[in-house]
Structures are given as structure tokens and as C-alpha cells.
Amino acid sequence: MNTGRPLQRCGITSIALLTLVVSSGCERPPAPAAPVAEAPDAAKLLAQMFDTLARARELTFTGCRVPEHNLLGPRGEGFRQFLEILDGGRISVAALGLGMAQGAFEMGLSYARQREQFGRPIGSFQAIQFKLADMATEVEAARNLVYKAAWLKDQGRPFAQQAAIAKLYTGELARRACNESLQIHGGYGFMDEYPISRFYRDAKVLEIGEGTNEVQRLVIARGLGL
């Protein structure tokens, strides 16, 4: 296997888990499985727009051989296993989005109470109140979507559709809520003194990782029988 493409994130630990091989590069036809490859040759840190949520690295494996006993499942079943993991992972990422939206809302609410302009807290202005009212409403709706997806999974019932719905909604909500909360912070929203600037940078990845918004919509439409 020779690859120079970004494959998997590798954070502060030195462990890299390569979950999927799509081409073995040898004469046998590609036989996806879920292998664990050890020790990449290089793990270059990639520059990215956020700093703490996840650190992406470009891993390079040259002429890498995966020992048979490192296969995590039957040969040829890796892609199916991978998709199953993605369904469950979407609930976790939806929970991340919910937490981020809730955090952005709480920061906006707190700032609106303390910041005064024209002799009164900015939270007394209806324009600010409406932003916070919208955020409170959407966070509540998002919580129910995430809990329902998790409940279905816990019950052993089909949950892929609900996981995609929760992931799509919370990813878009996190971006919206961080944007509105930063707006409430005004110029201070750009300063690292206030964590909303970091939330704003981090939120975007929730619309891309674990399947983009477009892919969630494809999954949901397929679930509708379209």
C-alpha cells in the first residue's frame, strides 16, 4: 500500500488506526477489510482552521503490509462494517453539535445580560432577544432529535435515518448558533479572550466530518424511498 493522502486523524497520542483499505495494490482484487496498520512512516501535522477539536495529520504508509491477524473482521466485509460504524458515529457527532450549540447559546445569553450599551444591557434589545429565543428553540428541538436517535439505537431498532437527521440538523444548528452568538459578542467575539471565537472556528467541521450535509440529505432522501 502506498498512499500520501490524509487518511485518519492522529492527535496527541502516537497511535494511528487505519480503518479501511480500498486497494491492496497487489494482483489480487481489492478486498476491503478493517485492518489495523502499525507505525506510519510519517505523520505530518496539517494546518487547519481550528485548533483544539481535532488534529488532522497526513499519514504516509510506504509498502505497508498488514498482518492477517490484524484484520478486525472478515476479508471483504470492511466497507459494510465501516458504514455501520458511520451510522452510530453520526449520533456521537450530533451530540457534539448539540453541545456546541448549547454552549454558544449560553455564552450569548450570559454576554447579553452583562454587556451594556446606550445605558442598558444589550439583552433588553428585541433584536438580541430574538436571536436568543431562536437559539433556545432550536437547541431544544436538536436535543430531542439526538435523544431519539440514541434511544432507537439502544432499543436495537433501525436508527440510520434518525441518526442522519440528527447529525444534519445539529451540524447546521451549531454553525448558526455560533454565528449568532459571536454576533451578540460584537467585536469581542473575535478576541480569543472569549471562547466563542474558538467555537465559531470549530463548528464548521460538524458539517463535513462523519458525512457532509449533502451526504446526510442523500441518506435521508433514500430513507424516504426516493
Ligand X SMILES: Cc1cc2nc3c(=O)[nH]c(=O)nc-3n(C[C@H](O)[C@H](O)[C@H](O)COP(=O)(O)OP(=O)(O)OC[C@H]3O[C@@H](n4cnc5c(N)ncnc54)[C@H](O)[C@@H]3O)c2cc1C
Q: Which residue do the cell numbers 478486498 mark?
A: 31
Q: Is 207 a catalytic residue?
A: no
Residue 56 makes contact with ligand X by CB under 6 A: yes
Which residues, in sequence order, are CB contacts of 226 under 8 Å at separation 6+?
A: none
Q: Are 197 and 190 in contact (CB under 8 A)?
A: yes
Residue 226: Cβ-neighbour burial (10 angstroms; 0-12, 13-18, 19+): exposed
Question: Which residue among the candidates 172, 180, 207, 210 is catalytic per the annotation?
Answer: 210
- Residue with Cβ nearer ligand X (62 or 212): 212
- Residue with Cβ nearer ligand X (9 or 115): 9
d(CA 161, CA 158): 8
Residue 214 makes contact with ligand X by CB under 6 A: yes
> Can you tell me which of 45, 72, 208, 221 binds ligand X, judged by CB under 6 A?
208
Task: Write out the binding residues for ligand X, residues 5-24 only, by CB under 6 A.
Answer: 8-9
Structure-derived torsion over alpha carbons of residues 183, 188, 189, 194, reported in degrees to the nearest 10: -140
> Can you tell me which of 73, 88, 99, 209 binds ligand X, judged by CB under 6 A?
209
* Helix (H/G/I), strand (E/B), else coil: 117: strand
CB of 97 to ligand X, least distance (A): 14
Residue 212 makes contact with ligand X by CB under 6 A: yes
- Residue with Cβ nearer ligand X (6 or 30): 6
d(CA 7, CA 20): 9
Q: Please give the residue ranges that form the binding site for ligand X (CB under 6 A).
A: 8-9, 54, 56, 205, 208-212, 214-215, 218
Indicate which residues carry an active-site annotation: 210
